[in-house]
Amino acid sequence: MISYQVLQGNSYDVVRGLFPYSIGKYRVIITSPPYYGQRHYGQALDEIGHEKNAETYIKKLAKIFSICKDLLSDDGSLWLICGDTRRNHGKLMIPHRLALELVETGYRFRDDIIWYKKNNVSSSSKDNFTQAYEVILFLSKNEKCFTAMNRVRTKGNEAIRGRNKTPPSHLVQYEPENRDKEKIVKILAIIHNAKSKTPIEELPTTSEISLAYGYDPEKYCPTCYRKFKRHATRRRIGGHKHYPIFAVCNSSGKNPGNVWEIANRAHYGNEHFAIFPEALVSRILKFATEKGDWVLDPFAGRGTTGIECTYLGRNFTGIDLYEENVVRAQKNIAYAMSKIYKLNEK
């Protein structure tokens, strides 16, 4: 049974109120705090984003996420969708400065992911390029954190299927066959003992390397659709010795990388107008949590994180400063739960 709660109040005060019973409770924190100096969400005087300067804004956010760190499990992580702000014809570099501030509080900086909005609206500015991306800061509480890469792998370039009339099953080799250990040992010995002046024809060919490892050189990797003979390469490393590099792709797909092309989410009617897409949250949840985990969003808005938690079987705590957002998030999450119940009844 999935549980959720959406609490009203100042994020800092509400998070402090979760102590001591929620220490170590949350596997992940996913949120998008209000951007600096960009819009008002209501009339509250303590609304974040309207500080006198960027330094105060960053310090305030760092203070909130610093106490949030104790609510994370030992293998928990923090994900922040951040936008930058321009002043005096320059960017304030808020995501980067916030990341540095959070590292000072004890977080470990894991990655900065570029969320490319493929449906971005072109800017009319004559001085600056259209802002087509936002930054997702990925930080962890400790050196190691829970991850599940296989859940978020993406398929490779499938255009080759359209260019070749051969059935895909005949083109693709998913697993190695007849791996020849003796040949591998011989190949490694030849390459390891090769000198800088060793003629290239005396080194094993990429096709020979592929066959030794059990891959048909003329078949395609199921992830990137390059021929396997192109995966087996000769590469010069220090000392002018040749080493075989055999990059066998994962049959579940390829690592999605740290540039995520996801369309922005439109808002309708009375919805909260700063919405990040469900697909973005879904990818993070699949990668960084398991079913039954608790997830925290200190700036819940319409409850997008909570909605995706419901669909994926995670528990959720949301916080928002404004009552109308709390009510909206509760309704949206309840609606998502009703859809799940209806599907289960069928």
Q: Give the tens place of pLDDT for each residue, 71-124.
A: 999 999 999 999 999 998 899 999 999 999 999 999 999 999 999 998 888 888
CB proximity list for 185: less than 8 A, separation 6 or greater: none
Say how far apart CA 128 and CA 106 lie, in whole Å.
Answer: 35
Q: Distance (Å, rounded) from C-alpha 133 to C-alpha 119?
A: 10
Instruction: Confirm if 94 and 36 have CB atoms less than 8 A apart.
Output: yes
Q: Residue 125: pLDDT band by 50, 70, 90 thresholds?
A: confident
Which residue would you say has higher pLDDT here, 247 or 264?
Answer: 264
How far apart are the C-alpha atoms of 172 and 78, rounded to whole Å? 38
The per-residue pLDDT for range 206-230, each reduced to its tens digit, is: 788 888 888 888 887 766 667 777 7
Q: Per-residue pLDDT averaged across 193-203, rounded?
A: 81
Pick from 178-187, 233-242, 303-312 the range whose average pLDDT is largest. Answer: 303-312
Domain 4-152+256-345 = CATH 3.20.20.30? no
For residue 163, what is the enclosing H or E element? helix 159-163
Q: How many residues does the chain have?
A: 346
Nearest C-alpha neighbor of 135 from the set 94, 196, 187, 163? 94
Q: Which pLDDT score, from 0 to 100, does residue 244 have?
A: 47
- In this prediction, residue 2 has a pLDDT band, given cuts at 50, 70 and 90, of confident
Once rounded to an integer, what is the mean pLDDT over residues 152-156? Answer: 79
**Is the predicted pLDDT of residue 234 greater than 70, yes or no?**
no
- Tell whether the model's pLDDT for residue 274 goes beyond 80: no
CA-wise closest residue to 77 among 147, 152, 141, 151: 141
Q: Compute CA distances 21 → 15, 121, 229, whole Å.
A: 11, 44, 57
b/e per residue, 25-42, with b = 16+ CB within 10 A? bbbbbbbbbbbbbeeebe
DSSP 98: H
* Whether pTM exceeds 0.85: no
Distance separating alpha carbons of residues 6 and 183, to the nearest angstrom: 62
Say if residue 236's pLDDT is above 90.
no
Q: Is the pLDDT score of 162 beyond 60?
A: no
Residue 299 · residue 31 · CB < 8 Å: yes
Quickly list DSSP for 42-73. SS-TT-TT--SSHHHHHHHHHHHHHHHGGGEE
Q: What is the mean pLDDT of the chain?
A: 86
In this predicted structure, what is the pLDDT of residue 272? Answer: 46
Q: Give the residue, 232 or 333, on which the prediction is more confident.
A: 333
Identify the CA nearest to 143 among candidates 173, 186, 106: 106
- CATH 3.40.50.150 range(s) for the chain read 4-152+256-345
Structure confidence at residue 304 (pLDDT): 95
Nearest-CA neighbor of 10 among 70, 64, 58? 64
Gap between the Cα atoms of 279 and 264, Å rounded: 10
Higher pLDDT, 265 or 101: 101
DSSP 123: P
Lowest-confidence segment of 62-71, 183-192, 331-340 by average pLDDT: 183-192
In Å, how far are 191, 315, 324 from 256, measured between CA atoms? 32, 26, 36
**Per-residue tokens: 115:** 């969320």
pLDDT band per the 50, 70, 90 thresholds, residue 266: low
Give the pLDDT band of residue 242 (cuts 50, 70, 90).
Answer: very low
Q: Which two tokens stand for residue 339?
A: 């859809």
Distance CA 49, CA 53 (A): 9
What letter does residue 316 receive in the DSSP assignment? E
Cα–Cα distance between 186 and 208 in angstroms, integer? 11
In DSSP terms, which residues pair with 232 in a beta bridge? 246
- Give me the pLDDT at residue 10, please: 96
